[in-house]
Chain A
Amino acid sequence: MSANVQNTDKAEKRAGVVKYLSFFRMKFISGLQYRAAAIAGIATQFAWGFMDILIYSAFARSDPSSLPMPMEALTSYIWMRQAFLGLFMAWYFDAELIDMISSGNVAYELCRPADIYGMWFAKTAATRTSRAVLRCFPILLVAFFLPHGFAMNPPASAAAGALFALSLILGFLCVISFGMLVYISTFYTVSSNGLRLILVNIVSFTSGELIPLPFFPDAARRVLELSPFAAMQSTPYMIWGGVMAGKEALFFIGLQLFWFAVMTVAGKLWMKRALVRVVVQGA
């Protein structure tokens, strides 16, 4: 009798081990697939960076005196734009939140103890950070070691590096704040895709996603540099490359702080009114 119990014990243990082994195998294989996708993603970003540099190099070669910013700053700009794409990308919106708003389920969020603005701010910030963190280090590291002309360059000075870090964080906060304004605007539209497409295009173009701000016509550049859009992505890269330095850099960092404050306060106030509307409509 006890021998049987022992055998079933052993058999159970073995079954248990087999279960864990197959679970491990499953997770390992899916982890590899995830890794393959991540590598493909990074390779894609490198390809795009190369293409951008090729285009600008061709222009720089033909007419070097017309370059509005040093080529070293430009290549750094291009690589950082790729590396931090997850952080600043104007095109990304959380489908879950959009859904919640258009279906009216946002009313359920009101039951939670934390304030919605803060919750969504944290959520969108976390999503973007996690997307960027994995990609930015490999891209930047490899970019430093590329051949001359394609390589990422160190910051213009130690001070520039420090200010860059501050500016990057502020720029990121501005992007999230602005994103919140876009989410709140969807409270007022039944089908928000059109409006968002327009806003995203404006933001992406004016924040330097397609072409760095120094390449804009001078008058347009001066205006745009004061806008919240430049605060979102352009300023940190300009500081790194030394295009904005010293007092000028400090001024634009201050501007980033200003826009962050303005957009956050506006967002919170607007959110309150939009939520009142939701409750009143009995969503």
Chain B
Amino acid sequence: MQYKASFFMSVFGQFLTSFATFLTIYFLFQRFSNVDGYTFSEILICYSSVIFAFSTAECFFRGFDGFARIIGNGEFDRMMVRPRPLVLQVMGQRIEFTRIGRFLQSIAILIYALPASGIIWTPDKIFALALMIIGETAVFTGLFIIYASICFFTLEGLEFMNVFTDGGRELGSYPIDIYGRGVLIFYTFVVPLACAQYYPFRYIIGRTSDIAALLTPVYCFIFLIPCYFVWRLGVRHYRSSGS
């Protein structure tokens, strides 16, 4: 019984974590009328899509996060001899309940944001939003895979990778152009978060009517290819280092 109470408290605690970030943005917009011309309702689209994409990617692919532990205690060796694909095995490791909680909350935020944003959802905009979310999920998934791949080479200094995963989520809560050209270029060509979060977003809120903006999420999927190669490189390095 006590464990059940603790579980519900964990879920509520998890809710508080997400809610706190939302409150932060809400407080900011109580004071500031806009940020670089974007209003609160427009930010809601950005924010809710990124949180949803991050939760989805995290729910399924952040098994790679506890990866250091798996390698450290030799469990990965056992995985390597099983007939199932490695990627799937690692994924299955850590579908934690708290993450499912966060995932459900992100759905709630999305459901709140869609009407609250004041956007009239025509089919092309719905399509754009879907591309946004799928593209963002792809980028975060790629980053989680890279995180795990680094574990093959070193177990030190992993926390810097969080700058891109969790940091990407924080920065991605706002349209990426508010941070300046340099950041926008980085997030377009190196980690293509902007290709999902920014260019289609501008189409949705009506700042551009160029359909080409909807094509940019393609780069997010292309991004997964080098990520997968890094993973294979890591596995090969691990094998050859004779563990």
Contacts and interface: CB of A to CB of B under 8 A. Distances in A.
Interface of A: 33-34, 36-37, 39-41, 43-44, 47-48, 51, 54-55, 58-59, 61-63, 66, 68, 189-198, 200-202, 204-205, 210-211, 215-217
Contacts of B14: 197
A39 B6 CA distance: 37
B73 interface: no
A193 B34 CA distance: 38
A33 B35 CA distance: 42
A195 B159 contact: no
21 contacts: A36-B157, A37-B156, A40-B160, A44-B160, A44-B162, A51-B170, A55-B170, A55-B178, A58-B178, A59-B35, A62-B34, A63-B35, A192-B6, A193-B6, A193-B10, A195-B6, A197-B9, A198-B13, A201-B17, A205-B16, A211-B28
A200 B17 CA distance: 9
B208 interface: no
Given A62-B37, A205-B20, A197 B10 contact: yes
Nearest to A35: B156
B183 A54 contact: yes
Contacts of B157: 36-37, 39-41
Q: A-B pairs with the 10 shortest C-beta distances?
A: A194-B9, A197-B13, A40-B157, A191-B6, A201-B16, A194-B6, A190-B2, A58-B178, A194-B10, A37-B156
Nearest to B18: A201
Nearest to B183: A54
Contacts of B31: 63, 66, 68, 215
A43 B160 contact: yes
A48 B174 contact: no
- Of the four ranges (under 10, 10 to 19, 20 to 34, 35 or more), the interface on chain B belongs to 35 or more
Contacts of A58: 35-36, 174, 178-179
B2 to A, nearest CB: 4
Contacts of A34: 156
A55 B17 CA distance: 19
Given A61-B36, A63-B32, A194-B6, A54 B156 contact: no
Given A48-B167, A194-B10, A62 B32 contact: yes
B6 A47 contact: no
A34 B156 CA distance: 8
Interface string B167-187: 100110010001110010000
A210 B24 contact: yes
B121 interface: no
B209 interface: no
Contact of B163 (A48, A68, A192, A205): A48
A216 B6 contact: no
Contact of B34 (A33, A63, A192, A197): A63
A198 B17 CA distance: 9
Contacts of B11: 194
A34 B154 CA distance: 12
Given A41-B159, A194-B7, A201 B20 contact: yes
Contacts of B27: 211, 215-217
A202 B13 CA distance: 9
Contacts of A196: 13
B189 interface: no
A261 B156 CA distance: 40
B35 A194 contact: no
B13 A201 contact: yes
